[in-house]
Amino acid sequence: MAAGSIRVTMEVGADGVALITIANPPVNALHPIIIAGLKDKYAEAMRRDDVKAIVLTGAGGKFCGGFDINVFTKVHQTGDVSLMPDVSVELVSNMMEEGKKPSVAAIQGLALGGGLELTMGCHARISTPEAQLGLPELTLGIIPGFGGTQRLPRLVGLPKAIEMMLQSKFIAAKEGKERGLIDALCSPNELIKTSRLWALEIANCRKPWMRSLGRTDRLASLSEARAVLNAARQQAMKVSPNMPQHQACLDVMEEGILYGGQAGVLKEARVFKELVVAPTSKALVHVFFAQRSTTKVPGVTDVQLKPRPIRKVAVIGGGLMGSGIATSLLVSNISVVLKEVNPQFLQRGEKMIAGNLEGLIKKGSLTKDRMHKAMSLFKGALDYSDFKDVDMVIEAVIEKIPLKQSIFSDIEKICPKHCILATNTSTIDLNVVGEKTNSQDRIIGAHFFSPAHIMPLLEIVRTEKTSPQAILDLITVGKIIKKVPVVVGNCTGFAVNRTFFPYTQASHLLVSLGIDVFRIDRVISSFGMPMGPFQLQDVAGYGVALAVKDIYADAFGERNLGSNLVGLMVKDGRQGKVNAKGYYIYEKGAKPKPDPSVKHVIEEYRKQANTMPGGKPVTLMDQDILEMIFFPVVNEACRVMDENVVIRASDLDIASVLGMGFPKYRGGLVFWADTVGAPYIHSKLSKWAEMYGPFFKPSSYLEQRAKSGVPLSAPGTSQQGSARSRM
């Protein structure tokens, strides 16, 4: 972005209103140049005798998307908090709110974060009805820092302000008007004119000169406010126990309620600066930028290729994955042909799609009209006759190599020459899937995660022969269907399942050593995973574990840990959540409960495994359990990076967060490992390798990084050929 396109302009009209405009495409983020410009223009407007009032707006149909997050990265790299300009007191409080001339915010498009905070420093807010308003700062590990924690409760009331801040919830300006955040609504064409008139009316004492920070009429009594804050604290501890910004935000709000808005603003500024350099903010800002870099693929997105339109997609297989994939496409206005082997399976697939859509309606993310539109784009098929004009095929049948090979051989003959031939396999080598075709340049992996219409990750797997065009087209489809695409290389398990194959295996090893199944799950959940490895196995179903067992054994050799625990569970009549009986008992409408009767299966497994030293259970701290499960995962991630299966370490961070539920506030798997340190991880794995065998043996990549002190996430000094993910 050229510095010349980042500017603040001021035009004074004959009516005596100064129109100050923020310009920093695409969302008018508050770059330090913008903040300096606002201070200059406000100072000038206050000095000039021909200026009676001020209207603040944004260029290009957007007010302001908030503070420029790139500045946070510079603060994190340097540790220098002084890089954060003083906006809250100097600009918003002193120059705008306490200024001797009234300010009116003219809002359209969006006013988020620092952008909304600027508007609350104005004396009135005029907006178009659909403009999005919100304070999403907590998603970056910080709190609103330009007075938002104080002014929002004074405008919309404490309960709504807490909801908007702690849940980072946006509201439309129409609701903002009902809540008291917006003073008037008007059309985009009338926005500036209406705002100018409003500003003059304030200046001429015909409308109230409202300073948000001084208001108390929307605040409840002290006892009511405390009750609301305490309830919010309890909820935050339950929902976000590892995120300090939630409690900090509530503390700062309470300060303002107890001691007045000005005291609240000063505490907010202090706490904001503490949180900006805290580990949670560093991790969440890393994830924010990492997610935006996954679609930058060398040799694909930087070579002037243009994506081709994908209007019609065929999905083969209407089971859980196929119906989920079809749902994602349909709600994004892409026509779908679902192919099944018989009418019963086809009917089941169509029912599952309808059920998925109904579920989205219940969650409020889909309207009935959009559901009907989606189903109008659906067609079922029992043969390939409708494949003659499809732009892409996604195969989602069971993991059987001969079946997949025959499907790809058939569709190659029927589909048009430009059609992308994709497989949703989670483990099978793509070269094997497509070896009986002559179209290797069109064969690509489109690995969705279950449930496919909800999980946000799309692993795009390429072989040495996959064309850049096919990759670009699938990246584009991924964006259209609101997935985060991560391009990876072709190997067993690809990036996510390969990196995390030791996760379940390590948990089985710990059980064989005498550690309680449910304690392991509690430790892993407390770390921040959505559930522990045993509950995850219940939910995923034991069929998956049994299907990949031999594939992993062949691919990973001595570092694969053979375990027959799942086989013993199946033998005991347990299938996990599918038959409501696994490690846990599943009852409708109730939380899963540990099943005490699983004890005899565990005892049989320990007896067969025979790994307890001297036949006695080992004694481990919770920290040991955590490390023995996650350090082997980090070790495999090192191999994945060393073999260039991913383009960059941060792609693996995003894949771990979105594909496996690794806690976002820890920055993703590799980012977290770097905070722990390669030397420590290496020393622990070396010790366990001596005690328990090659499953824990450190990789050469980890060993080199531990010795050199170079972070695991740092790019390698030399690429061994071209990256698999870049081929």
**Residue numbers annotated as active site:** 117, 137
| Distance in angstroms (rounded) separating the CA atoms of residues 106 and 19 | 10
Residue 143's alpha-carbon distances to 252, 264, 358, 658, 664, in angstroms, are: 9, 13, 36, 24, 17
Position 168: which residue type?
Answer: S
**Residue 544: Cβ within 10 Å count:** 17
Please name the amino acid found at residue 130: E
Phi/psi at 236 (5° precision): -65, -40
Cα–Cα distance measured from residue 460 to residue 332, given in angstroms and rounded to the nearest whole number: 19
Contact at 8 Å (CB) between 420 and 392?
Answer: yes
φ and ψ at residue 343, rounded to 5 degrees: -60, -35
Among the listed residues 619, 576, 624, 574, the one whose alpha carbon sits nearest the alpha carbon of residue 601: 574
The amino acid that residue 665 corresponds to is Y
The residue type found at 327 is T
CB burial of residue 283 (10 Å; 0-12, 13-18, 19+): buried
CA distance 343 to 522: 44
Angle at 108 between CA 102 and CA 112, to 5 degrees: 85
CB 430 within 8 A of CB 443: yes
- Please give the Cα distance from 299 to 648 (Å, whole number): 14
User: Amino acid identity, residue 559?
Assistant: R
Token pair in block for residue 333? 């206005």
What span, in angstroms and rounded, lies between the C-alpha atoms of 588 and 668? Answer: 33
Q: Cα-Cα-Cα-Cα dihedral of 651, 654, 659, 663, to 10°?
A: 140
Residue 382 neighbours by CB distance under 10 Å:
13
Distance, in Å, from the CA atom of 443 to the CA atom of 675, rounded to the nearest integer, reads 38
Contact call for residues 479 and 295 (beta carbons, < 8 A):
yes
CA 355 to chain centre: 25
Give the phi and the psi of residue 172 in degrees, each rounded to 5.
Answer: -80, 155
Strand partners, 380: 338
Strands 312-316, 392-395: pairing is parallel
How many Å apart are CA 123 and CA 192, to the nearest integer? 15
Residue 466 contacts residue 443 (beta carbons within 8 Å): yes
Q: How far apart are CA 558 and CA 614, in angstroms?
A: 24
Q: How many CA atoms lie within 13 A of 588 on its CB side?
A: 0
Whose CA is closest to 165, among 179, 183, 145? 145
Q: Give the separation between CA 719 and CA 727, rounded to whole angstroms.
A: 13
Which residues share a beta bridge with 9? 21
The string of DSSP letters for 507-522 reads HHHHHHTT--HHHHHH
> What whole-number distance in Å separates Cα of residue 417 and Cα of residue 322?
23
